[in-house]
Amino acid sequence: MVFSSNVFLFLFLPIFLGLYYLSGNRYRNLLLLVASYIFYAWWRVDFLALFAAVTVFNYWIGLRIGAAGVRTKAAQRWLILGVVVDLCVLGYFKYANFGVESFNMVVSSFGMDPFVLTHILLPIGISFYVFESISYIIDVYRGDTPATHNLIDFAAFVAIFPHLIAGPVLRFRDLVDQFNHRTHTVDKFAEGCTRFMQGFIMKVFIADSVAPIADHCFALSDPTTGEAWLGAVAYTAQLYFDFAGYSSMAIGLGLMMGFRFMENFNQPYISQSITEFWRRWHISLSTWLRDYLYISLGGNRGSTFQTYRNLFLTMLLGGLWHGANFTYIIWGAWHGMWLAIERALGTDAAPRTINPLKWAFTFLLVVLGWVIFRAENLDVAWRMYSAMFEFSDWGLSELTVAQLTSLQIATLVLAYGVIAFFGIRQFYANPLTSQAPKAKAGEEGGVAPLGGATAVAAGVAPAYAVALGRLLVLLLFVASVLKLSAQSFSPFLYFQF
């Protein structure tokens, strides 16, 4: 089940919200857990057992760590056990196929028979719920949160369906108070509806309309320079509106239930360095990598070389987290290399003014990275890069001209117009918001437009402007629902991770 489906919009969500608000506070977390398990089992019932087993195991590990004491040797042993088991589960289901295929490539080159392994299906959302489980037991070990004795609350935290499939990557320490005490108001519910509709529009109205352009260009066996660049910029827009749209929907659904999740995007395409980009893009993952991987590797506490090494390794492993493919590893290494270079150059990650050259160079680096991120394999990536930098033919082939529609091109132009408008507006409203949002989960705020972290409180704009804005969102949402009903399939890109 996905958010952008009629089953979710007109069956699952109304029934759940009706039961949720009819039940008392005492039973709402249990209802949320049951609903989340139904939401997950809609995909495959058999993998629900693995999901529940990982949850119970980490709940038990958390209790063992808590009983042993903060940062004690005994607690460290329990922590190591928990992390190793979690990573083994993730490694088996996500990387076993890749490992065997890579091994067979080597042995086949020596004329040996390849090793045979039955193809392993990747459980949806496993990267997210394993990371969240690991963060919980590490936080208990560090003393950042006490070990919870409430299995229902912990299981509901891991399984809460708004973020279950594609994030944001949440942390138990940020939500534990909200599981015990959260507010349910008409204003918060209305804010959640608006955020959900904004995300739905981003996904269905923009991302799904741009997707055929990227799919066509990346599938060409001999793309021209123009087709290669068109595919790259189309995917750059598609990925942002798809993933930021999902995150906005997740945040909106959380608000409908009284939760306030952290923002996951903060106008990333106005960044003027890769360092700033990662403070604006997938904020929940980048902060997770910083707090639990980069710092664990030593952070910047060692020599200059060790700091650069830690930055590079963090992004390399972050790339591998996205999928078992050499393309993701190279993508992570690409970003890690530029983070280390910028660290060496002392790049300002929170600029107060817009430098067009720095912005253009950063955007170019991001687009080039997205090419290998999107490519199915290294051959496709090489074909795209070769075409992009041949500069021989900027035209489009007859096949491409016949394939593309004026609506798709117009939507692509609209997408970049939206990115530019909201990015520039947000930058000049507060140029220092390149940092990840400082407000903790649970603090009240306003509606953030189109995946940005800058809150727009009700009193900032005139009442009539707010009303017109909400009416426009509602109309676009209705149009997006009609568009969704006319198309057969609307998957989210980050489901594969």
Please tell me the predicted confidence (pLDDT) of residue 242: 94
| Other beta carbons less than 10 A from residue 468's beta carbon | 12
- Is residue 234 over pLDDT 70? yes
Distance CA 243, CA 451 (A): 9
Distance CA 429, CA 261 (A): 23
Q: Are 97 and 120 in contact (CB under 8 A)?
A: yes
SS3 448: coil
15 phi and psi, to 5 degrees?
-65, -45
This prediction's pTM? 0.88
State the sign of the Cα–Cα–Cα–Cα dihedral 135, 139, 145, 148.
positive
CA distances from 229 to 52, 232, 369, 370, 384 (A): 44, 5, 13, 11, 8
- Is residue 457 over pLDDT 80? no
DSSP secondary structure letter of residue 150 = -
CA distances from 434 to 50, 160, 267, 281, 358 (A): 38, 28, 9, 10, 15
* Residue 341 exposed, middle or buried by CB count within 10 Å (0-12, 13-18, 19+): middle
Arithmetic mean of pLDDT over the chain: 87
417 phi and psi, to 5 degrees?
-65, -40
- Is residue 86 over pLDDT 60? yes
Q: Can you list the alpha helix ranges (DSSP code H) found in 160-224?
A: 161-164, 172-180, 186-200, 208-219
Please tell me the predicted confidence (pLDDT) of residue 440: 42
Q: Are 3 and 252 in contact (CB under 8 A)?
A: no
Catalytic residue among 163, 282, 322, 335: 322
**For residue range 99-149, what is the model confidence (pLDDT) as tens digits?**
777 766 777 777 776 777 677 787 888 989 999 999 999 999 999 999 999
- Is residue 495 over pLDDT 60? no
Work out the average pLDDT over 197-202.
94
DSSP code string of 192-204: HHHHHHHHHIIII
Work out the average pLDDT over 191-217.
94
Distance CA 125, CA 162 (A): 12
Nearest to 216, CA basis, from 443, 398, 416 = 398
447 phi and psi, to 5 degrees?
-80, 130
Q: Which residues contact 60 (CB under 8 A, 6 or more apart)?
A: none
Distance CA 247, CA 426 (A): 19
**For residue range 335-373, what is the model confidence (pLDDT) as tens digits?**
999 999 999 999 888 888 899 999 999 999 999 999 999
Work out the average pLDDT over 300-317.
91
Report the DSSP beta bridge partners of residue 447: 456
Element (H, E) at 45: none
Please tell me the predicted confidence (pLDDT) of residue 36: 95
Distance CA 446, CA 237 (A): 25
| Other beta carbons less than 10 A from residue 322's beta carbon | 19
**For residue range 312-341, what is the model confidence (pLDDT) as tens digits?**
999 999 999 888 899 999 999 999 999 999
Question: pLDDT band for position 46 (50/70/90)?
Answer: confident
291-296: long-range contacts (C-beta < 8 A, 24 or more apart)?
Answer: 291/135, 292/134, 292/135, 292/138, 293/317, 293/318
Please tell me the predicted confidence (pLDDT) of residue 433: 46
Is residue 168 reached through a cis peptide bond, with omega within 30 degrees of 0 on the bond before it?
Answer: yes
- Is residue 434 over pLDDT 50? no
Does the active-site annotation cover 322? yes
Distance CA 326, CA 231 (A): 21
